[in-house]
Structure 1
Amino acid sequence: MGSTTISAVRTASRRRFLMCRPTYFAVEYAINPWMDPTRPVDPMLAIEQWEALRGVLLGLGHVVNLIDPVPVLPDMVFAANGATVLDGRALVSAFRHPQRAPESGAYEKWFRDRGYEVRCAERWNEGEGDHLAVAGVVLAGHGFRTAASSHAETADYLGRPVIGLTLVDPRFYHLDTALAVLDDEQIMYWPGAFSPASRRRLHSLFPHALRVEEHDAVQFGLNLISDGHHVLLPAPARSLAARLATEGYQPLALDVSELAKAGGGPKCCVLQLDRPPA
């Protein structure tokens, strides 16, 4: 987890992702500060933006699996929240808000049908939205959508140490809006999203982590997808893209403005599965 320079050589790792087409995307309720049901949404533009994201991932050589959207679940496009997957095990989410709770059944069926070992979380646990694997541990956000009391179950089932991090700014209601994993060792985060104790914990574990400014964080700049070299992030996070380039990453800007109306960015749209064979 050492410091980086522009001369750093970054290596992409082929990934497998699960995505859900936003066929029924809408903002019909408000369960985070970004959602405003009175604000117009263009469903066709949302689909175009999602297809562009999927196209970039495929173009980079990644594998994209699809789960069928369900008509009454407009937020199902945010597949990252459906489960946390490690080593062939899927811990299916237990959503805090009733509007999203039925998604769990769809994700459970998808994983069981494909031979994954599956457990359904017993306490609030919103999947990879609040659980990011890096450096042999799972960083786990809590405070808004995932319960701290769920961490023991996560550690037990996934077989990794879980490091709890308290989120304190409701704009950053999931960990993946406040912290990003760039490669197997490096993370990037906005300190203001975390409690003082959690900031100290992050600094202790990742002393050379990249810290971003609030103006990039509120553009969902941290809700990014990285394969260790290419970094897909929202187009408005321009200064963050420039920063990543100086660190040896290749930023790829995407327009996800319609999906952002529901509080999501590129990372929210993908759930990382087991990596495919080389």
Structure 2
Amino acid sequence: MIYQTPDALDLQLDRIPSLPPPRRVVLTTPTHFDVEYVINPHMSENVGAVNTDVAWQQWKALRAAYTALDHTPVLVNGQSGLPDMVFCANQTLPFYDPASDSKGVVLSRMHSEQRADEVPYYARFFEEEGYAVDTLPEDLDADFEGMGDALWHPGHHLLWGGYGYRTSPEAYEALGDLLDVPIVALRLVDPDYYHLDTCLCPLDARHALVAPEAFDDAGRALIDALFETVIEVPDHEARHQFACNAHCPDGAHVLIQEGCEGTNAQLRNHDFVPVELDTSEFMKSGGSVFCMKQMIW
């Protein structure tokens, strides 16, 4: 079932099957990271502006943060000619079926031709990791950008799906059939928030960070209906500091771009622990913490 309006919502979170949290984190080396083209508003002033030495240090700090939180990094090598491959949340949607103890991945269909060649590298990676590799139907004319737009609700077999810029709404019909999962589809209405992971950050089953300006009224109502506590992020922190592109891997610590003072204060008020990281070089290409990782079982 695809839910796009609050009136249609007949879900009760406590009746949705549970989903164990993934414990491993995929990180892709930034060997070839740069801004070489413009496919989102954040890149427009930054072509050729990446300091690669600084980017490497920032990436290593992210890797160390996950290691410190007991999430084992699994590394993929970035490839020449694919400067955005480091944003490894975008090329796939990993999934796990507790009933059959099986794991798989749905490959993305990248909206931008500049990124299409990233996907086969991740297909091979997941095959080597023992994942069943699935694709959207060949006859479906739709884009889909993995966990840039499709987010698992923490602890539950429920998918949040953003559409409007990089992912087509028709992709969620196919995903719902393929994965037998309910999907809450949210229309994105501001090009600065071109992926769902730039404006919605589920922290745990009850809490989420949200950039309200990214959604229409129906989208905000759907989020309010399924998260007990919605933490609204100041617009300048969401839009310019990628505060909602944070990641909470353990329900307690929130890895977030440094300097998001208003967001961090709210996180602490709700008993979360902000872990500030500098991802400023990667923000030049339109991504921060969440974009730079992929969680797997």
Same fold (TM over 0.5): yes
Matched, 1:272 2:295: yes
- Mark the CA change 1:246 to 1:207 in structure 2 (over 3 Å): closer, same or farther: closer
Q: Which amino acid aligns with 2:146?
A: G
Aligned twin of 1:167: 188
Aligned twin of 1:47: 56
Q: How many residues align?
A: 262
**Separation in 2 of the partners of 1:121 and 1:45?**
37
SS in 2 for 1:146: coil
Q: Pick from 238, 250, 256 the counterpart of residue 217 of structure 1.
A: 238
Q: Pick from 141, 145, 151 the counterpart of residue 162 of structure 2.
A: 141
Aligned twin of 2:129: 114
Superposition RMSD in Å:
1.4
Q: Which amino acid aligns with 1:121?
A: L
**Separation in 2 of the partners of 1:75 and 1:263?**
10
Q: Which amino acid aligns with 1:126?
A: E
- TM-score, length basis structure 2: 0.85
Map Cα deviations across residues 99-123 of structure 1 (whole Å, 9 max, x no partner).
Answer: 0000111111111122201112353
Contact (CA 8 Å) 2:233, 2:262: kept in 1 or not?
A: no
**Superposed displacement of residue 208, structure 1:** 2.7
Map Cα deviations across residues 108-144 of structure 1 (whole Å, 9 max, x no partner).
Answer: 1111122201112353110111011114310000000
Aligned twin of 1:249: 272
Aligned twin of 2:104: 89
Map Cα deviations across residues 189-231 of structure 1 (whole Å, 9 max, x no partner).
Answer: 1111011221122222225322222122121001011020010
- Mark the CA change 1:66 to 1:116 in structure 2 (over 3 Å): closer, same or farther: same
1:154-193 → structure 2 map (5 Å cutoff): 154-193=175-214
1:20-99 → structure 2 map (5 Å cutoff): 20-36=28-44, 37-38=46-47, 40-87=49-96, 88-99=103-114
- Mark the CA change 1:208 to 1:80 in structure 2 (over 3 Å): closer, same or farther: same
Contact (CA 8 Å) 1:35, 1:261: kept in 2 or not?
A: yes
Which structure has more relative contact order (CA 8 Å, sep 6+)? It is: 1
**Superposed displacement of residue 92, structure 1:** 1.0
**Separation in 1 of the partners of 2:136 and 2:122?**
12
1:7-22 → structure 2 map (5 Å cutoff): 15-22=23-30
Contact (CA 8 Å) 1:90, 1:118: kept in 2 or not?
A: yes
Q: Which shows bigger deviation, 150-159 or 252-261?
A: 150-159
**Separation in 2 of the partners of 1:155 and 1:14?**
21
- TM-score, length basis structure 1: 0.90
Any gaps of 5 or more consecutive residues in structure 1? 1-12
Q: Give the % identical residues.
A: 36
